[in-house]
């Protein structure tokens, strides 16, 4: 009997470890970092999404006197954020949530309708937790590395904008146009990989998002 029980526990543990979400460890670290702010009564503003949020290291300085929680996790998609909505958004009872997803989805050849479906599910979960929470959808950014996907990104951005128009508690912030120089993407606002932004790139985001932050 003991042998069977030990075998069952081993299989259960082994199966769990093999099926861990690919961002499990990163999300755990974010939870540890912001553990003191979980379920806090202090109003917070959550920025979440993929690496463009994760690498915004000056975000608290860029929005002084705001309780900013940055739960960005690099390489994520809308599906990943949906999976971790409770841990990365709802746990902090935010009054406002800024979401940046879609960049990696399109680059990974994921269907636009699927992205929108998962984004709407995220929005529904946020609203179910608190109907007064304001949600801000950040447009997918242009980049040198993924400029060949610009038509798909622009299509997705139009869809995001339509979602925002239908709900007074949802806003759409356009970072696409400010990052362009005419019809081409600015070349001096990225790091060496031509995908992630440098300080100049984040200055553009800060100047635009300031108008939307609560």
DSSP letters along 42-81, please?
A: S--EEEEESHHHHT-TTHHHHSTTS-EEE---TT--HHHH
Q: How confident is the model at residue 19 (pLDDT cuts 50, 70, 90)?
A: low
Give this prediction's pTM.
0.90
Could you report the per-residue pLDDT of 180-206, keeping only the tens digit for each?
A: 999 999 999 999 999 999 999 999 999
Mean pLDDT of 24-33: 95
Q: What are the structure tokens assigned to 51, written together?
A: 């690496």
Could you report the per-residue pLDDT of 35-80, keeping only the tens digit for each?
A: 988 877 788 999 999 999 999 999 999 999 999 999 999 999 999 9
Q: What is the pLDDT of residue 14?
A: 43
Q: DSSP letters along 147-164, please? A: GGGHHHHHHHHHHHHHHH
- Domain segments of the chain: what residues? 23-209
Task: Return the SS3 of 134.
Answer: strand
Q: What is the pLDDT of residue 146?
A: 98
Residue with tokens 């940046």, as numbered in its chain? 100
Residue 125: count other Cβ atoms within 10 Å of its Cβ: 14
Task: Return the SS3 of 98.
Answer: strand
**Whole-angstrom distance, CA of residue 53 vs CA of residue 59:** 9
Asked if residue 150 has pLDDT above 50, the reply is yes
Asked if residue 6 has pLDDT above 70, the reply is no
Which CATH code, of 3.30.70.2740, 3.40.50.1110, 3.30.365.10, 3.40.50.620, is assigned to 23-209? 3.40.50.1110
User: What percentage of the chain exceeds 90 in pLDDT?
Assistant: 86
**In angstroms, what CA-CA distances link 194 with 59, 63, 84?**
21, 26, 28
Q: How confident is the model at residue 20 (pLDDT cuts 50, 70, 90)?
A: confident
Q: What is the pLDDT of residue 5?
A: 41
Cβ atoms 164, 137 nearer than 8 A: yes
Longest dimension (CA), the chain: 73
Consecutive H or E run containing 180? strand 180-181
Q: What is the pLDDT of residue 12?
A: 45
Could you report the per-residue pLDDT of 105-131, keeping only the tens digit for each?
A: 999 999 999 999 999 999 999 999 999
Kindly tell me the sign of the dihedral angle through the C-alpha atoms of 63, 123, 54, 186: negative
Task: Return the SS3 of 143.
Answer: coil
Mean pLDDT (the chain, rounded): 92
List the one residue out of 72, 90, 79 whose CA is nearest residue 138: 72
Q: Where are the alpha helices (DSSP H) in the chain?
A: 2-18, 24-33, 51-54, 59-62, 78-83, 85-88, 103-107, 112-129, 150-165, 199-209
Q: What is the pLDDT of residue 59?
A: 98
N-term to C-term CA, the chain:
60
């Amino acid at each position: 009997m003991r042998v069977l029980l030990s075998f069952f526990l081993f299989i259960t543990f082994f199966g769990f470890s093999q099926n861990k979400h690919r961002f499990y460890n990163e999300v755990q670290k974010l939870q540890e970092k912001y553990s003191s702010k979980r379920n806090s009564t202090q109003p917070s503003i959550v920025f979440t999404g993929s690496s463009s949020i994760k690498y915004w290291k000056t975000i608290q300085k860029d929005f002084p006197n705001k309780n900013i929680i940055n739960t960005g996790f690099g390489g994520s998609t809308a599906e990943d954020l949906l999976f971790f909505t409770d841990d990365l958004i709802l746990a902090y009872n935010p009054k406002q949530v800024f979401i940046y997803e879609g960049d990696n989805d399109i680059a990974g050849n994921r269907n636009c309708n699927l992205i929108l479906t998962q984004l709407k599910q995220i929005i529904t979960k946020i609203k179910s937790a608190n109907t007064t929470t304001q949600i801000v959808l950040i447009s997918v950014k242009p980049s040198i590395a993924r400029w060949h996907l610009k038509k798909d990104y622009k299509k997705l951005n139009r869809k995001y904008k339509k979602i925002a128009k239908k709900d007074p508690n949802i806003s759409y912030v356009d970072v696409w146009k400010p990052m362009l120089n005419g019809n081409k993407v600015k070349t001096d606002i990225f790091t060496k990989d031509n995908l992630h932004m440098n300080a100049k790139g984040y200055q553009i985001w800060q100047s635009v998002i300031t108008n939307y932050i609560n």
